[in-house]
Structure 1
Amino acid sequence: MRILLIEDDQVSARTVVNALTSDGHFCDVVTSAQDYNNNMVSSGGDCYDLVILDIHLPGDIDGYDILLRLRSAKIKVPVLILSCISAANHKAKGLGYGADDYLTKPFHKSELLARIKAIVRRTKGHPESVIKIGNMNINFDHRIVEVKGKTVHLTNKEYSMIELLALRKGAVLTKEMFLNHLYNGLDEPSDNKIVDVFMCKLRKKLESANDGISHIETVWGRGYVLKEYVDDEEYSSVNISESSSDYQAEQVKDSA
């Protein structure tokens, strides 16, 4: 795909460009609204498959203004806002102005690429996105988790956790990362032990449907990781060591 990145921060721009090029995409970069490619208006936006847009730009015109101009000109190119601002009102404003998604910095490369593919897939009418991990299918479009063809009924928090784990499969995620993903800075609990409670419930549901396997492992002192392939002996030892963690989570639940 050919992607236009509108970003004035050089470090952030370099990170995005490296992520995109490593995945086979072509990326043009402009650093201000004044340098914005005016040919998009005359070409109808056909020159790019996606625009990645920062909100705060130097000068009198910000990212919201660019977004409004695109939509006012009937240019339907998908837009992903990439911003360090996580406030809900900014997200609502961006989506209300016509953005297709909103991702906050710092971000993980795999999540950025997954969101880009999902946006383009939706706008181009491609089939729904499903990630398969062992016997488990995670449908990001419908927010459904299936194990062996049967739906596992999860709460919104539980689904959000397995979604984040799947988007960053193989990476260790801290409890703070889960809190940011679950609450987006709004009414965030001061005690991150609530993550253990949600994780305990999520694991039990997945294990119940999948012969005792959830694919979620604890990395002691760091967080949690989702692994696609789990050796039986390895998983047995993991389960034994994790039993104390589940017990502690249940204690937190009972005392809440």
Structure 2
Amino acid sequence: MRILLIENERLIAAALHREIGKAGLRCELSDEADAIRLMQEGDDSFADYDAILVGTVSNGGGLVTQLRRCSGHTIIIGLLGHRCVTSTIAYLRSGADDVLVKPINALEFEARLHAVRRRTHGHSSSELRVGRLTVYLDGRDPAVDGQRLRLSHREHAIFSVLALNVGRVVSKEKIYETVYGLTGSDPLDKVIDVYICKLRKKLAEATGGDRYIETVYGRGYKFEAPSEEEADIGPVAHIAPLSPALAADDGRHVSG
């Protein structure tokens, strides 16, 4: 996941950056002046982040209001130096999704982030049943009939995007932006095709041939339980192997 931290105090920013990194999340730093300048210039990059953290700034509530206008449904979390009911209320009324008190704990932060993320996608529970799959929206690998399906970092990141949008078409570009924090373009977005192929293969092997990821040509991919007719067909007869170059496993870290 791609996180933007807006923090005026450099030492605090460095400490928060280290702590967030412990959760395996990609964190970028900015200060209040730069954030305001970019918004005044009409920069729309704020919507590309999975979450924006607002730390020590001169007017937290005002900044959150501006960020909410230009960041769409991006998660916004306020960070307070000490517990303060008045400031908490101001943040929440301005459009923040949650408020934490510094110093933060990496595991608690990650758990809260997953909770807000699933609620923004309309999921009240951290578990979903999709066919024979149990999908966990708290960062754990999915399970098939109670048995864990082990996924690599990249596979898990892409699977999570699809699972959060179960039953809905997700464009290849959206997957690429969410997983890599960049705009996809040939040949880079071919990476998504590779990992969709890997995911399909693992799901088919674990379920006896069930197909959970559908290609919607010209639009993207859709994750959903196979229909009864598809499930009755039986195992997939053949899955073409990937080329050695494309089959190379995860050598680089990708935030999930």
State the TM-score, normalizing by the size of structure 2.
0.49
State the TM-score, normalizing by the size of structure 1.
0.49
